[in-house]
Structure 1
Amino acid sequence: MPDMSHTPLTPAEYWDKYKPYRREGAQPAPQADRFEWTQYPGHGPGAEVLGRPRRALELGPAEGKEAAHLARRGVEVTGVDFSPVQVERARAWWQDTPGLSFVQGEACAYLTSGPGEFDAIYSVWGAVWFTDPEDLFPCVLQRLAPGGVFAFSQAEPVAGAYGPQRMRGKWLEGRERELTVRRWQYAPEMWADMLKRHGFTDVEAHVLKAPEPGNLGTLMVRAHTPA
């Protein structure tokens, strides 16, 4: 059982300082010519994992390049991120991209706050990794259209270190004060069981091996709502 006695600081503060805030001055927008699920550019599947959605929601988009990629293909995309700093940056980078918007907020709160359905809800190393799935999955299910796709990726889980884990971020700011957030890790079959228990169907969960042997792989999960 992980030691959860350490109380995390404000999660938004962690993400406010997340990449690429290591340089002063304006920074160029990242490339959005491919949808990347893994940490290795050009490795693994792309946007086809989501099917052909008309409306999509990204949970924790940070720099927003996957959302921008979909919007350029004609998808109406909303990205919701906990960090006001990340949202402001993404809006500045992609302000001229039609059909793309970014909202500041917590994932579950956003999912339960309004009407409307999405054909796809996804997370690329984003909010799904850092939100209790027992809270998040019911919220996702209620906002997906019938037959909709829920997909997410994150780091390959470490065997024996399942459930909520502390992730420290002292390196993010270079000061003595340490920022901490929680992330949820499970084996692929455990993710699949949770999704099925919450009402999802056609669940696929596996680890995509890294392109170079010995490097960290990527957990890939996809599920659907009943048609």
Structure 2
Amino acid sequence: MSLAESWDTYAAGSKPRRAVNATGERTWLNWTQYADHGPNESVLGPVAGRRVLELGSGSGSNLAHLVTLGATGLGVDIVPARASVAKERWAGLTGIEFRTAEATDFLSQTDETFDVVLSIFGAVWFVEPHTLLPLIRSRMASGGTLAFSHLPAGSQDLKPGGAGLRHNHSLDAWEHLLTGHGFAAVTASLIDPPQGRTVGTMLVRALAR
């Protein structure tokens, strides 16, 4: 089974995102694996007027939220079914686009430049950093923001790829990797889980220098 087929199987068994969150909002950004938990889009700074790329955009909900705030967005996902769902769900929203591609293939072939790149339990977690980070940096404007989240080092989950293929590095490891591939002002934090849960979320942010 190919990686795309594995993700397609996983997506078919996952629950669709709710139509509204706990506060009644129809779009919102969620960095963690828990509903209504963790920081919001302020991690990225102001997004109005900025070009945003999401690697592993899924149903497009996080990206759509940024577009409602004035960004223009492009979502890339390896699973064709994901892009189809996203296109249907956000058909009435201008300034957003979805494509089916593997992250490194897309970044290697595009000539577009982005002000913000985000990956929420997405490609940054699954693709070799020494391969992916230089490609991301090559498509980012100087001073642009890269932000991503994933499970903390040592955590296990059921997403495709297997634990040995996930790059859930420590805070220090991510700082070393990012500064070595053209990024600066790296901040990394572990978001505590909500009450009754035991696994937190790693959130990393850096600027393209």
- Tell me how far 1:42 sits from its aligned partner: 2.4
- The 8 Å contact of residues 30 and 65 in structure 1, kept in 2 or not, is answered as no
Once residues 83 and 72 of structure 1 are traced to their aligned partners in structure 2, the CA distance between those partners, rounded to angstroms, is 24
- Tell me how far 1:69 sits from its aligned partner: 0.6
Q: Percent identity between the aligned chains?
A: 35
After superposition, where does 1:14-29 map in structure 2 within 5 Å? 14-19=6-11, 21=13
Given the superposition, is the C-alpha separation of residues 22 and 196 from structure 1 closer, same or farther in structure 2, using an over 3 Å criterion?
closer
Task: Name the counterpart of 1:89.
Answer: 85
TM-score by length of 1: 0.81
- Tell me how far 1:191 sits from its aligned partner: 0.8
Task: Name the counterpart of 1:50.
Answer: 44
- Alignment size in residue pairs: 200
TM-score by length of 2: 0.87
Which segment drifts farther, 217-226 or 150-159? 150-159
Given the superposition, is the C-alpha separation of residues 117 and 133 from structure 1 closer, same or farther in structure 2, using an over 3 Å criterion?
same
Code of the aligned partner of 2:120: V
5+ long unaligned stretches in structure 1: 1-8, 160-164, 170-178
- The 8 Å contact of residues 126 and 161 in structure 2, kept in 1 or not, is answered as no
Task: Name the counterpart of 1:140.
Answer: 136
Task: Name the counterpart of 1:162.
Answer: none
- Tell me how far 1:28 sits from its aligned partner: 7.9
Indicate the structure (1 or 2) with the bigger Cα radius of gyration: 1
- The 8 Å contact of residues 67 and 77 in structure 1, kept in 2 or not, is answered as yes
Once residues 28 and 197 of structure 1 are traced to their aligned partners in structure 2, the CA distance between those partners, rounded to angstroms, is 36
Given the superposition, is the C-alpha separation of residues 180 and 145 from structure 1 closer, same or farther in structure 2, using an over 3 Å criterion?
closer
Code of the aligned partner of 1:223: A
Cα root mean square deviation, aligned? 2.2
- The 8 Å contact of residues 35 and 66 in structure 1, kept in 2 or not, is answered as yes
Task: Name the counterpart of 1:200.
Answer: 183
Once residues 86 and 197 of structure 2 are traced to their aligned partners in structure 1, the CA distance between those partners, rounded to angstroms, is 33
Given the superposition, is the C-alpha separation of residues 192 and 48 from structure 1 closer, same or farther in structure 2, using an over 3 Å criterion?
same
- Tell me how far 1:21 sits from its aligned partner: 3.8
